[in-house]
A and B are shown apart, each in its own frame.
Chain A
């Protein structure tokens, strides 16, 4: 069953298409990583899914209905980011108790165990927390709500390395006990990739790739060697990145014969998903170096 279905979804903001005919669907009880550069449209997409923002055109269905103005979607969805606003007249502990009134699956025991583990004090006020502590508290709300659709938009902003690690492990353990549909947007693909089942890569408001994590890892490889031989083997349009430092090195779609590459004396190397993301989302094939090219 698909929890989210997007068809030709468009969002205009100030005459700019921030989402440009987006198509994809997300299966129930999977963890998907939403990856993209700054300004690619990640947050816009997530806010439309959560029902916060209205679409401009196309179709968006969450649990089979349009999420905007849907009480059903808002009761079954939690959207966690670093701008969640909480009342300052309530203490952190009060906030946990209030959250229990909002979310039918709220797990107070988990919330309190995480609260203690991360060293929160019951009488603290959300506004006075540091950036990292705010993110940590929001994460507790996001996990303990046990919403069938749980969305984390850049959840680890400001968290230190060890809290980030704890968060990912807590997320996975809780998911194993209470399977649900989870979307995490992140700049740190290398940190989340092991947790993910699928990767949704967006670029310039469009879906660039939607693959399983393993499919993503096998999507492209690096090739090093004589440039004439490389282009004898691969199509130029399949090349995602070129670097000429220390001999020709290209990153290319994995659609050629590895046997033949070896015979031509070309060196094949795997590309990390994080690097692949950078190369896939670059606007030029030479990256930042192209800016400094003066000819």
Chain B
């Protein structure tokens, strides 16, 4: 389940795994998520690393704390995750596009025209 190429920090992988569980509906609003110890046991990782992953989601308002009871899924969790993934992934792809167009010394507007053309093409196909 975890990426084994050892390049992405494990706590981020844990956070992403939990996000996917929420998107899939395996973890519902106001449901308790796994404790750091349970996650450590499930993935054979250090519990401090698991705690870091949980905290990341807490800071992003995807999870909330109930004192002494653990962490639970917030009402807006799904929306936050969807928005975050859209922004991150799309933004990165667009950055790549812009960089490549600069390398190719494309004139202003040329890239936009290409994007527009692809959108039109897809629409034609959809008809």
Binding site for B on A (CB under 8 A): 30-31, 168-169, 172-173, 176, 190, 193-197, 212-214, 217-218, 262-263, 265, 270-274
Q: Across the interface, name the chain B residue whose C-beta is closest to A274.
A: B6
Check A265/B99 contact, CB under 8 A, given A213-B49, A214-B10, A272-B7.
Answer: yes
B48 / chain A contacts, CB cutoff of 8 Å: 30, 197, 212
Binding site for A on B (CB under 8 A): 2, 5-11, 37, 40-41, 43-49, 52, 95, 99, 103
Check A214/B49 contact, CB under 8 A, given A169-B44, A194-B44.
Answer: yes
Q: Could you tell me the distance between the alpha carbons of A274 and B6 in the complex, rounded to whole angstroms?
A: 9
Q: Can you list 17 contacts pairing A with B, beta carbon distance less than 8 Å?
A: A30-B48, A168-B44, A172-B44, A172-B45, A173-B41, A176-B47, A194-B2, A194-B46, A194-B49, A195-B46, A197-B46, A214-B52, A217-B7, A262-B99, A265-B99, A271-B7, A274-B6
Q: Across the interface, name the chain A residue whose C-beta is closest to B47.
A: A176
Q: Could you tell me the distance between the alpha carbons of A190 and B5 in the complex, rounded to whole angstroms?
A: 9
Tell me the total A-B contact number using a CB cutoff of 8 A: 56
B46 / chain A contacts, CB cutoff of 8 Å: 31, 172, 194-197, 213
Q: Across the interface, name the chain A residue whose C-beta is closest to B36.
A: A176
A270 contacts B8, C-beta separation under 8 Å: yes
- The B contact surface, by secondary structure, is helix
Q: Across the interface, name the chain A residue whose C-beta is closest to B7.
A: A270
B95 / chain A contacts, CB cutoff of 8 Å: 262
Q: Across the interface, name the chain A residue whose C-beta is closest to B46.
A: A197
A212 / chain B contacts, CB cutoff of 8 Å: 48
Q: Across the interface, name the chain A residue whose C-beta is closest to B6.
A: A272
B2 / chain A contacts, CB cutoff of 8 Å: 194
B8 / chain A contacts, CB cutoff of 8 Å: 270
Q: Across the interface, name the chain B residue whose C-beta is closest to A172.
A: B44
Residue in contact with A263 in the complex, picked from B9, B37, B45, B99, CB distance below 8 Å: B99
Q: Across the interface, name the chain B residue whose C-beta is closest to A176.
A: B37
Q: Could you tell me the distance between the alpha carbons of A271 and B103 in the complex, rounded to whole angstroms?
A: 26
CB distance from B16 to the nearest CB of A (A): 14
Q: Could you tell me the distance between the alpha carbons of A176 and B49 in the complex, rounded to whole angstroms?
A: 13
CB distance from B3 to the nearest CB of A (A): 11
CB distance from A270 to the nearest CB of B (A): 4
B10 / chain A contacts, CB cutoff of 8 Å: 194, 213-214
A190 contacts B6, C-beta separation under 8 Å: yes
Q: Across the interface, name the chain B residue whose C-beta is closest to A173.
A: B41
CB distance from B96 to the nearest CB of A (A): 9
CB distance from A183 to the nearest CB of B (A): 14
CB distance from A168 to the nearest CB of B (A): 7
Question: Contacts A173-B41, A217-B7 given; 10 further ones with Cβ under 8 A?
Answer: A172-B46, A194-B43, A196-B46, A213-B10, A214-B10, A214-B11, A262-B95, A271-B7, A272-B5, A274-B6
Residue in contact with A195 in the complex, picked from B6, B11, B44, CB distance below 8 Å: B44
